[in-house]
């Protein structure tokens, strides 16, 4: 049962354009969502997060949008740079009587390639 | 502030052996979570420790265990290694580990089981 899904395995974008990465979730108990960037054989690097009480959060070139009714979030990167090329994971967590402590549920990742 | 550190970075073991991996969290962080990353299963939650107590556990066999020390450093142990245990093992730390606490990851330990 995959509770967090990233349906696009890969995305290719030209430098300077917008990159939009998408993520869907099924568990309505999730209340905190994060995006991580990852290079092979390295640990994920935290990019940006959003709480379920918000629908948008911005940090520099990165903006995350949350649509709770659709159980959908997206990460926008503007403008995209070649250094953004990596695997992007969305992750979710939620309080459910204490059983969710420290647990992030990850999507399968999207490989972003930004061409110069 | 130093990030999450993991040792060793690489390990090669043979089937049937056991292995211990170590994780030092960011200073001040008291929650440590462990994850396994494989090509087929992605990033899977193993367990989480806070104040030397395991508070949460993923769906892994009992061969996978862990502990946390009073300084918040954590170790995970895998006994009777199987070929399928080959993976990147990641630990992550956060302040107290509620659902709205951001986790910061270490570089991982690449375990290869031959």
Q: Which residues contact B35 (CB under 8 A, 6 or more apart)?
A: A104, B43, B44, B45, B46, B89, B90, B91, B92
Among B42, B48, B106, whose Cβ lies nearest the Cβ of A101? B48
Does the CB of B30 have a partner CB in chain A at under 8 Å?
no
Could you tell me the maximum CA-CA distance found in chain A, to the nearest angstrom? 48
Question: Which two three-digit tokens encode residue B51?
Answer: 């104040």
Q: What is the distance between the alpha carbons of residues A113 and A103, in angstroms, rounded to a whole number?
A: 29
Q: In terms of DSSP bridges, do strands B10-13 and B109-113 run parallel, antiparallel, or are they unpaired?
A: parallel
Write out the residues of chain A at the interface with chain B, using a CB-CB cutoff of 8 A.
31-32, 34, 36, 41-46, 49, 51, 89, 91, 93-95, 98-109
Per-residue pLDDT reduced to its tens digit, B17-76: 999 999 999 999 999 999 999 988 889 999 999 999 998 999 999 999 999 999 999 999
- As a whole number of angstroms, the distance between CA B80 and CA B64 comes to 10
Instruction: Specify whether the backbone of B46 is left (phi greater than 0), alpha (psi in -120 to 50) or beta.
Output: alpha
The pLDDT-based confidence of B1 (bands split at 50, 70, 90) is low
Residues of chain A with pLDDT under 50: none
Mean pLDDT (chain A, rounded): 93
- Cα separation of B57 and B44, whole Å? 11
Q: Cis before residue A79, ω within 30 degrees of 0?
A: yes
Check residue A105 and give its pLDDT: 93
Of B48, B99, B108, the CB nearest to A32: B99
């Amino acid at each position: 049962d995959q509770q967090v899904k990233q349906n696009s395995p890969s995305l290719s974008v030209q430098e300077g354009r917008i990159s939009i990465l998408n993520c869907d979730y099924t568990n309505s108990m999730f209340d905190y969502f994060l995006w991580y960037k990852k290079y092979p054989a390295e640990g994920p690097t935290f990019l940006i997060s959003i709480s379920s009480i918000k629908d948008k959060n911005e940090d520099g070139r990165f903006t995350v949008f949350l649509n709770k009714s659709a159980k959908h979030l997206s990460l926008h990167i503007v403008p995209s740079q070649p250094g953004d090329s990596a695997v992007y994971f969305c992750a979710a967590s939620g309080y459910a009587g204490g059983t969710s402590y420290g647990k992030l549920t990850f999507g399968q990742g999207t490989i972003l390639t930004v061409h110069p | 502030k130093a990030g999450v550190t993991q040792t060793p970075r690489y390990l090669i073991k043979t089937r049937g052996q056991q292995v211990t991996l170590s994780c030092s969290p960011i200073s001040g962080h008291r929650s440590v979570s462990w994850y396994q990353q494989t090509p087929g299963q992605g990033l899977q939650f193993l367990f989480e420790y806070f104040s030397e107590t395991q508070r949460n556990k993923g769906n892994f066999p009992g061969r996978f265990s862990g502990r946390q020390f009073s300084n918040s450093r954590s170790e995970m142990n895998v006994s009777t290694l199987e070929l399928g245990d080959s993976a990147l093992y990641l630990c992550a730390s956060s302040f107290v580990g509620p659902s709205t606490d951001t986790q910061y990851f270490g570089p991982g330990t690449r375990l290869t089981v031959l």
